[in-house]
Amino acid sequence: MKFLLLLFSFIFIFACNTSSINKAYTEYYNYQKKYISALLDNNKQAQIKYLKEMIECGEFLHLNITNYKKKLQNLSKTYKPIKNYPTFSKYIKILSYNPIKIKLPSNQVTFFTSEYKLYKKVFDIKNAAIHKFITKKLKSNIMLKIAQFNKNTVRIVLYSKYKFRIKYRIKNNLLTISIISYQKNLPNQLSAVSFKPIKKQHKKVIVIDPGHGGKDAGGVGIKHRMEKEAVLKIAKYLKIYLQRQGYIVYLTRKGDYFIPLKKRTHFANIKKADLFISIHCNIAPRHYKKPHGIETYFLSPTRNERAIQVARTENKEIKGLNYLDQRVILNFLNRDRIIDSNKLAIDIQKGMLLSLRKKYSRIKDGGVRPAPFWVLVGTQMPAILIETGYLTNPLESKRLFNPEYQKNLAKGIAEGIKSYFKKNH
């Protein structure tokens, strides 16, 4: 008897609730949401679980679930559970601060720099741990911070508001860092943007997403110009303009490092953003005759082949999304959010064109279009993606790496956002 009760409880908790049609529909759509999340995480184990539950609900509701059954069958054939073997991190040891000498568990160290507001030199030590957070003032007012970045990575950051140079060496599991120059007369160029003071403080929160980064260069155009570099500069200028207008602004990335697509929108949701702006550059195949123009997209189903082609390029990080998966996701889009995103896209497109055409010729309006960009999936606020120009076009490629052009582009986006809020909130 106890066994039967336990079995009934197990079925009730984990199987589709078929006590009524309404409850079955509710569970069916809840399982679809979870399945979408598993798709975007590329979590095959979770996909299998939620497909089974969707199929059970679908059969009760007499829905056409043939495609889900095929998907489950294919996944079940190819999926092999991954054993979670424990990973062991080893503690680093600080030997000295002048110069900085750190004993490492291995020579697995990556280095990058950042020059937004502060000048930073950053080292990530893989498969390592630290006993406690360290912050220390070094010579020439350079600060040192050492912290646990994630469970298997220690991050070392040297930073200052003035430009400085270092040299470093990694040998025999020893990292040695020396400060070799320091220049007080070189302020960060991004702080040199001039603004009129804004008295009004908005409570609106805006998340700006510079596309790609780190291992993902994005589009690579003429003279090996990389999308990830141009969009980061534009995003930083945009942040400054918006902050000076009184908005609360966050960047999904502040330097040259990689962030998965889903984490970008998850970050915006955590910050309870009112808008999500993803910034990109376009590229075109060689057989196209030097296309150019600025385009703004909002997340929505489309049959436009050009929009689908652009989206396919930006979506390359998401693996295994077939047509069925895409339809499932797009069917869950909130209609009001699509309308608001469309309005935002129109205002930003107009703002960019007005700003750039004051100083530059041959600024083409590529239009506002719907497209299935997966970086926008999961946002709980109006969200758009801007293709700021073509890296494969000689004129636009050169302009997209020009600071003055970047500033005017950012100013136009900021004006578009201001116009959107004025009309809709």
DSSP string, 206-218: EEEEE--BTTB--
The answer to which of 8-17, 55-64, 225-234, 416-425 has the lowest mean pLDDT is 8-17
- To which residue do tokens 């912290």 refer? 147
What's the pLDDT tens digit per position in 227-267? 999 999 999 999 999 999 999 999 999 999 888 877 888 88
Give 67 or 105, the one with higher predicted confidence: 105
Domain 90-183 sits in CATH 2.60.40: yes
What's the mean per-residue pLDDT of the chain?
Answer: 80
Answer whether residue 97 shows pLDDT above 80.
yes
Instruction: State yes or no: pLDDT of 181 exceeds 80.
Output: no
Separation between Cα atoms, residue 309 and residue 282, nearest integer Å: 11
Contact 178, 164 (CB under 8 A): no
CB within 8 Å of 185: residues ≥ 6 apart: none
Under CATH, what is the fold of the domain 193-424? Aminopeptidase (3.40.630)
Q: What is the CA radius of gyration of the chain?
A: 25
Cis peptide before 81 (omega within 30 of 0): no
List, in sequence order, every residue forming a beta bridge with 154; answer none if it has no partner: 125, 148
Buried b (16+ CB within 10 A) or exposed e, 298-330: bbbebeeeebeebbeebbeebeebeeebbebbb
Determine what percent of the chain is predicted with pLDDT higher than 70. Answer: 76
Rounded mean pLDDT of 28-57? 79
Average pLDDT over residues 416-421: 96
Q: What is the pLDDT of residue 12?
A: 37
Q: Which of 235, 374, 212 is nearest to 283 (CA)?
A: 212
What confidence score (pLDDT) does residue 209 get? 95
DSSP letters, 138-185, are -GGG-EEEEEEEETTEEEEEEEESSEEEEEEEEETTEEEEEEEEEETT
Q: CA–CA separation, 333 vs 392, rounded Å? A: 33
Q: Which helix (H) or strand (E) holds 248?
A: strand 248-251
The CA-atom distances, in angstroms, between 340 and each of 36, 199, 377 are 23, 27, 15
At 61, phi and psi to the nearest 5? -90, 0
Rounded to an integer, what is the distance from CA 98 to the centroid of its chain? 37
Which residue from 150, 142, 200, 191 is spatially nearest to 166, judged by alpha carbons? 142
DSSP string, 353-376: HHHHHTT-S---EEEEEEE--GGG
Maximum mean pLDDT: which of 167-171, 189-193, 343-347: 343-347
pLDDT exceeds cutoff 90 at 82: no
Distance (Å, whole) CA 382 – CA 274: 7
Contact indicator for 277, 364 with CB cutoff of 8 Å:
no
Evaluate if residue 195 carries a pLDDT over 50.
no
CB-based contact 238:413 (threshold 8 Å): yes
Q: What's this model's pTM, rounded to 2 decimal places?
A: 0.59
Distance of CA 162 to the CA centre of its chain: 28
Question: Roughly how many angstroms between the first and final C-alpha of the chain, as a whole number?
Answer: 61
Is residue 202 predicted with pLDDT exceeding 70?
no
Rounded-to-integer distance, Cα 406 and Cα 193, Å:
11
- The DSSP 8-state label assigned to residue 224 in this structure reads G
DSSP code of residue 284: -
138-145 average pLDDT score: 85
pLDDT at site 187? 42
d(CA 38, CA 46): 6
Please check whether residue 390 is in contact with residue 282, taking contact to mean a CB–CB distance below 8 angstroms: yes
Buried b or exposed e, range 53-74, using 16+ CB within 10 angstroms: bbbbbbebeeeebeebeebbee
Helix (H) or strand (E) holding 280, with range, is strand 275-282
Secondary-structure breakdown of the chain: helix, strand, coil percentages, each rounded to the nearest 5: 40, 25, 35
Average pLDDT over residues 315-337: 56
Q: Which residue has the higher pLDDT, 179 or 34?
A: 179
